[in-house]
C-alpha cells in the first residue's frame, strides 16, 4: 500500500513539475526569427552561412530570438513541414535562402498570412513550367523576393582573373539552378571582356556542373585533373563544392575563386570571391520588418548599383589587378555600360558569343 502511495505521489509530483515548467520550456523554445536552410549546411561558407550571419548580425544587438532548421532532404513538402515547425516555434519572420524555396513560399505566404517571409535568390511562384506563359509568380504583402545580379559578380571575378594574368580558367558550379548559371555566364563574359581590353586571345575555360552542392572525392578528383592539365584558377560556385576544389588546389598549387561570401579565410589558394551582399540584404530587410516598413509584395534585385555584388578587394590575393582597376570596371557596371547575358538569354555557356576564349562544356 505504501509502495502504491509513493508511486502515486511520484507520478503527481512529476506531473506538477511538467506543468510548472511548461511556460519556461515554451519560452525557451520560442524563436521569432527563423531560417530554413537550403541544400547544404549552416556552415557551408557560402549561401546558407551568409544568410545566417545576417540574421545573427541583426538579432543579437536587437535582442531578438533566432533559430535555424536544417532539412535532411529537399522537396516542397519537406520545406513546408519545416516552415510549419518554425511557425509553431513562434516565428514572426522566416528567412529562406535559395531558389528551391520559390514554390514553398508561394504556398506558405497564403497558409500563414500573419508570418512574414524573406526569400533570398528567388521570387514565389507555383513552379508549373508546363503552362503556357510559364509559372504563376505572386508575392503577397507578407513576403518579399530578393535576387542578386550574379552575372555581374561572376563578370567581376572573370575580368579580374584575366587582368591578373590567368589565361587557363575553369568554372565548377554545383546544381545548374538559375543563380549558379548566372554566375557562370558572367564569369565567361568577364574573361572575354578583359581579353578584349588587353588584346589577348587563345584563353580557355573548362565549364562543368557537379549536380550537387556537396564536397565529394569525385569533385576533388575532377578539379585535380583540371589543375594537372594546366588550368590555373577555378571558380568554385556551389557551396561545399568549393571545399573539394580548394583541397585539389592546395595539393596542386592551383588557385580558386570563391563564391557568395568572402572565402579567403578558407584556403590560401583563394585569390578572391564573387560575393553577394547576403548579410546586408538580410539585415536591411529585418530592420525594415521591425521598423514597420517591410517591403511586402516586392521583387527586389540587388545589383552593383546598390552594392548587391562585389569582390572583397581587401582580402584578395591579386598581384596585378589593382583597386583602381576594380573601381573602374565596377563603375561601368553601376553606370550600365556593361550589358550581360543571363540564364534567360542563352541555353548554355557554349552559346555565349565569345571570340577570344574557348569554352569547353564538360558533361
pLDDT at position 27 is: 35
170 closest CA partner among 253, 254, 252? 254
Percent of the chain at pLDDT exceeding 90: 82
Element (H, E) at 248: helix 241-252
pLDDT one-digit tens code per residue, 142-169: 999 999 999 999 999 999 999 999 999 9
Q: What is the pTM of this model?
A: 0.82
Task: Supply the pLDDT for residue 5.
Answer: 36
What fold does the segment set 150-276+306-361 form as a domain?
Rossmann fold (3.40.50)
Q: What are phi and psi of 211, to 5 degrees?
A: 90, 0
Q: So what's the pLDDT on residue 39?
A: 80
pLDDT (average), residues 104-120: 98
Domain positions in the chain are 31-148, 150-276+306-361
Whether 31-148 shares its CATH topology with 150-276+306-361 is answered yes
Q: How far apart are CA 72 and CA 70, in angstroms?
A: 6
Average pLDDT on 254-280 reads 95
Distance CA 33, CA 40 (A): 20
**3-state DSSP helix/strand/coil percent for the chain, to nearest 5?**
45, 20, 35
Cβ atoms of 246 and 219 within 8 Å: the answer is no
Task: Quote the CA–CA distance of 135 and 124 in Å, as a whole number.
Answer: 10
Q: How much is the pLDDT for 297?
A: 98
Tens of pLDDT, residue by residue over 279-332, are: 999 999 999 999 999 999 999 999 999 989 999 999 999 999 999 999 999 999
- pLDDT class of 15 with cuts at 50, 70, 90: very low
- What does the block give as the cell for 41? 549546411
pLDDT tens by residue, 63-78: 999 999 999 899 999 9
For 31-148, give the CATH class: alpha beta
In angstroms, the CA 249 to CA 253 distance is 6
Provide the grid cell at 346: 542563352
pLDDT for 208 = 98
Amino acid at each position: 500500500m505504501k509502495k502504491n502511495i509513493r508511486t502515486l505521489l511520484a507520478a503527481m509530483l512529476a506531473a506538477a513539475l511538467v506543468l510548472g515548467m511548461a511556460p519556461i520550456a515554451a519560452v525557451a523554445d520560442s524563436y521569432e526569427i527563423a531560417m530554413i536552410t537550403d541544400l547544404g549546411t549552416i556552415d557551408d561558407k557560402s549561401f546558407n552561412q551568409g544568410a545566417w550571419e545576417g540574421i545573427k548580425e541583426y538579432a543579437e544587438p536587437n535582442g531578438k530570438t533566432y533559430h535555424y532548421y536544417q532539412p535532411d532532404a529537399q522537396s516542397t513538402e519537406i520545406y513546408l513541414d519545416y516552415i510549419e515547425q518554425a511557425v509553431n516555434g513562434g516565428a514572426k519572420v522566416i528567412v529562406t535562402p535559395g531558389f528551391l524555396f520559390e514554390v514553398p513560399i508561394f504556398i506558405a505566404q497564403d497558409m500563414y498570412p500573419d508570418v512574414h517571409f524573406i526569400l533570398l535568390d528567388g521570387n514565389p511562384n507555383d513552379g508549373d513550367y508546363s503552362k503556357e506563359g510559364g509559372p504563376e509568380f505572386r508575392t503577397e504583402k507578407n513576403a518579399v523576393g530578393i535576387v542578386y545580379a550574379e552575372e555581374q559578380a561572376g563578370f567581376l571575378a572573370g575580368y579580374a582573373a584575366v587582368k591578373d594574368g590567368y589565361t587557363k580558367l575553369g568554372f565548377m558550379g554545383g546544381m545548374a539552378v538559375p543563380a549558379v548559371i548566372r554566375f557562370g555566364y558572367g564569369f565567361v563574359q568577364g574573361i572575354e571582356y578583359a581579353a578584349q581590353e588587353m588584346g589577348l586571345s587563345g584563353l580557355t575555360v573548362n565549364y562543368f556542373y557537379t549536380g550537387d552542392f556537396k564536397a565529394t572525392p569525385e569533385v576533388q578528383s575532377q578539379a585535380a585533373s583540371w589543375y594537372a592539365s594546366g588550368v590555373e584558377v577555378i571558380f568554385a560556385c556551389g557551396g561545399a563544392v568549393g571545399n573539394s576544389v580548394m583541397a585539389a588546389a592546395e595539393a596542386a598549387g592551383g588557385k580558386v575563386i570563391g563564391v557568395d561570401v568572402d572565402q579567403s579565410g578558407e584556403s590560401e589558394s583563394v585569390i578572391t570571391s564573387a560575393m553577394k551582399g547576403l548579410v546586408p540584404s538580410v539585415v536591411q530587410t529585418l530592420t525594415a520588418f521591425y521598423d514597420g516598413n517591410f517591403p511586402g509584395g516586392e521583387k527586389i534585385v540587388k545589383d552593383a548599383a546598390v552594392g548587391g555584388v562585389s569582390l572583397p578587394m581587401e582580402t584578395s590575393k591579386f598581384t596585378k589587378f589593382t583597386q583602381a582597376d576594380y573601381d573602374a570596371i565596377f563603375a561601368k557596371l553601376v553606370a550600365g555600360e556593361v550589358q550581360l547575358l543571363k540564364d534567360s538569354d542563352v541555353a548554355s555557356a557554349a552559346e555565349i558569343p565569345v571570340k577570344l576564349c574557348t569554352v569547353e562544356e564538360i558533361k
